[in-house]
Amino acid sequence: MEGALTARDRVGIQDFVLLDTHTSETAFLGNLKKRFSEDLIYTYIGTLLVSVNPYKELDIYSKKQMDIYMGVNFFELPPHIYALADNAYHTMMTEANNHFILISGESGAGKTEASKKILQYYAVSCPSTTLLDSVRDRMLVSNPVRFVNSGPGLVSSSLRLIDHMFTLQGDAVGGHILSYLLEKSRVVHQNHGERNFHIFYQLVEGGEEDLLHQLGLESNCQHYSYLVQDECANVTSINDKNDWKTVRNALSVIDFDESDIQHLFGIIASVLHLGNVQFEADSKGYATLNKNTELRWVSTVSLVIPWTLRMPKPWRPQSAYTLLTLLDHAIYARNALAKAIYGRTFTWLVNKINDSMENKEPSRKTVIGLLDIYGFEVFYVNSFEQFCINYCNEKLQQLFIQLTLKSEQEEYEAEGIGWEPVQFFNNKIICDLVEEKHRGIISVLDEECLRPGEATDFTFLEKLEEKMGSHPHFITHKFSDKKTRKTLDRGNFRLLHYAGEVTYGVVGKGSHGLSLLWTIIHVYLTDKLLGDSTTDPRPSSLLGLTDILMSKEPWYVRCLKSNESKQPGRFDDVLVRHQVKYLGLMEHLRVRRAGFAYRRRYELFLQRYKPLCPATWPHWRGVAAEGVEALVQHLGYLPDEYKMGRTKIFIRHPRTLFATEDAFEVCKHKLGKATKIETCWRGVQARKEKERRQWAVKVIKKFIKGYMTRGEAKTTDNSEYLAFVRQNYLNRLKDNLPKTVLDKSSWLTPPPVLTEASAILRQLHMRLMVTRYVRGITAQQKAQLQLKGITSVIFKGKKDSYPQSVSQPFVDTRISEQDINMKVLQIIRNERIKYSIPVVKYDRNGFKARPRQLILTQTAAYVVDEAKIKQKALEHVGDLVIQCDHLFEVLTKLSVVANKQSAINVVQGR
Residue list, annotated binding site for ATP: 105-112
Give CA 858 to chain center in angstroms: 104
Q: How many CB atoms lie within 10 A of CB 23?
A: 11
User: From residue 421, how far is each of 81, 447, 592 by CA, in Å?
Assistant: 31, 40, 12
Rounded CA-CA distance 117/51 in Å is: 12
Q: How many H-runs (helices) and E-runs (strands) does the chain carry?
A: 32, 20
Residue set of the binding site: 105-112
User: From residue 823, how far is each of 417, 829, 868, 875 by CA, in Å?
Assistant: 108, 10, 7, 21
Radius of gyration, alpha carbons of the chain: 54
Pairing label, strands 598-601, 648-651 = antiparallel
Query: Residue 476: helix, strand or coil by DSSP?
Result: strand
Q: Are the beta carbons of 593 and 653 closer than 8 angstroms?
A: no
Q: Are the beta carbons of 743 and 737 closer than 8 angstroms?
A: no
Rounded CA-CA distance 252/259 in Å is: 12
Rounded CA-CA distance 679/681 in Å is: 5
User: From residue 344, how far is each of 311, 341, 517 by CA, in Å?
Assistant: 8, 5, 17
Strand (E) or helix (H) holding 412: helix 384-415
DSSP string covering 698-734: HHHHHHHHHHHTTTSS--HHHHHHHHHHHHHHHHHHH
Rounded CA-CA distance 755/127 in Å is: 70
Rounded CA-CA distance 449/522 in Å is: 8
- Angle (deg, nearest 10), helices 293-302 and 258-275: 160
Q: How many CB atoms lie within 10 A of CB 768?
A: 12
Q: Are the beta carbons of 204 and 217 closer than 8 angstroms?
A: yes
Amino acid identity of residue 474, one-letter, is F
- Angle (deg, nearest 10), helices 258-275 and 240-253: 140
Q: Are the beta carbons of 107 and 560 closer than 8 angstroms?
A: no
Strand (E) or helix (H) holding 94: helix 81-95
Rounded CA-CA distance 301/271 in Å is: 10
Instruction: Quote the DSSP letter at residue 375.
Output: P
Rounded CA-CA distance 259/217 in Å is: 19
**Of 765, 789, 795, 764, residue with least CA distance to 777:** 789
Rounded CA-CA distance 258/273 in Å is: 22
**Of 442, 425, 573, residue with least CA distance to 500:** 425
Which residues have a Cβ under 8 Å from the Cβ of 219 and sit 6 or more positions away?
A: 204, 205, 207, 209, 212
**Of 259, 256, 248, residue with least CA distance to 144:** 248
Which residues have a Cβ under 8 Å from the Cβ of 811 and sit 6 or more positions away?
A: 889
Amino acid identity of residue 342, one-letter, is Y
Which residues have a Cβ under 8 Å from the Cβ of 162 and sit 6 or more positions away?
A: 115, 175, 176, 177, 178, 369, 370, 371, 372
User: From residue 629, how far is each of 605, 623, 638, 661 by CA, in Å?
Assistant: 11, 10, 12, 17
Strand (E) or helix (H) holding 769: helix 755-775
Cα angle value 537/88/396 (rounded, 5°): 40
